Amino acid sequence: MAAAVAGAVAGVIAYLAYRWIKVPESAMAMAGIIGLIPGLAFYQGLYSLIGDDFDPSAAAPALLTAAATGLGLAAGTAIGGYIARLSFGLDRSARIAQRRSRVRG
């Protein structure tokens, strides 16, 4: 849950940076979450599988923790960007694209 909240905060800040200083949103989001990626848990899980003592029961919790943290970061970043767009409005190019994609009938 903490990873998802941190990802959402990174997504909101990335969108605001995109709007204010015209920096690509995905670059700012990646810079915000790169330090939170669960490298140690993934390493420990793989080492338990590949190391001298093959122990899947020790590897499974570490790998599941790493996967859950990664998915939480990804989902939180996407949700944070979505919430920021709803709260602060779309930028000019997104409004133009939205107008063009409306079905007229």
How high is the pLDDT of residue 72? 94
Residue range(s) defining the domain that contains residue 96: 2-101
Domains of the chain: total: 1
Span 74-94, pLDDT tens digits? 999 999 988 888 888 777 777
pTM > 0.85: yes or no: no
Residue whose C-alpha is closest to residue 25's, from 95, 62, 78: 78
